[in-house]
Each structure stands twice: as C-alpha cells, then as structure tokens.
Amino acid sequence: MKRIPYISIILENREGEVLLLLRDNKSTITCPNHWTLIGGKVESNETPEMAAHRELEAETGLKTDLSFWKRYDREHTLFIVDQYVYVGKVDASRELLVLGRDFQFFKPCEIQHLKIGYGFQSLLNEYFLTHTDNSYVHHSLSPRRLWQDLTHPLSRGIFTREGIHRISHARTGRDIHW
C-alpha cells in the first residue's frame, strides 16, 4: 500500500491546554464536524518540518518554534499515512487566524468529551501522559486510575514521572500535597 507523509501539530498554551480545530460539517470532507489537530499533507518539494511550519501559519497565522515529537503509521482506506507529529508552545492571548468552523484550547479532561478526528484521541492521551512540563502528567498510577483522575472535572494537578505533587480542586482551589 502506498505511504503518504502527513504532519500534525500539538500546540500548547501556557495553561497546558492544546489547540484543536473544528472541521466543517460537510459530507464531502473526511471527519466532518470533528475536532482535530493542525496539520496536512507534506508536499513533494518540502520536508515534514517545512510542512509543519507552512500548515501552522496557514491554519493559525502563527509562527513559532516546533519540535519533532514522533512518527507513526496511521491507517487510511486508500493508503498508509506516514504521520509526523510536532509540538510547540504558544501564548494564548494572541489572535489566531483559523481555517474551519472553530478553534479552541482544551484541557485534558475536556478532550474526552469531544469527537476527535483521525484517531488523534489516543495521540493526545499519550501526549498528556509523556510531557513532563505539562501540569497533567504523571506515571505512578495505573493507566485507568490516572485517566479517571485526569478527566475528573474537579481535579487539576501537577504530575511528574516521580508521582503526584499537588492536586487542586477546581471550585475551591484548595491544594492537597504529597
């Protein structure tokens, strides 16, 4: 089966939220009315990194540093997607020029309730579990318990590979330290 390179970008703001774009609700496009990452096809005259910067500027109007995170194969009905994933940070206060119906920054606990396109739900889960500078990451709980804690609407915490350092209740703001 033919392999076609695509890029996606996980763009995170200062609050640890990631930017998702809502695709148009047209039956003629893939994943209509689904939230997705910034991204697109790598053109024949460019590298995946060049494509990532092109797509970022085209879809958001932003220019920022991007770092390569991972590469994997993603199934498509007609070909195999050679998926390159880049990550970047952005100041959420800047205005974004976004293609599609809508855009929004989401916390990890909010993403589970969305219709995510292209199988990016598991990619986002992995991102939140592996990026130690993200305030939602830790590795000492079982994956099931971790996801329950992360997605509880009243929980917000600082998690690292060494364990839970603090959880704060969203309504009261009280911290519980370990």
Measure the CA dihedral 39/43/48/53, to 10°.
-60
Q: Is the pLDDT of residue 62 over 80?
A: yes
Mean pLDDT of 142-161: 49
Which residues contact residue 1 at a Cβ distance below 8 angstroms, ignoring those fewer than 6 apart? 79, 80
Tens digits of residue pLDDT in 70-113: 999 998 888 999 999 999 998 864 556 666 668 889 988 898 88
pLDDT score at 136:
42
pLDDT band at 163; cut points 50, 70, 90: very low
Mean pLDDT of 103-124: 91
pLDDT band at 64; cut points 50, 70, 90: very high
* Structural domains for the chain: 3-120 (3.90.79.10), 138-178 (no CATH)
pLDDT score at 121:
93
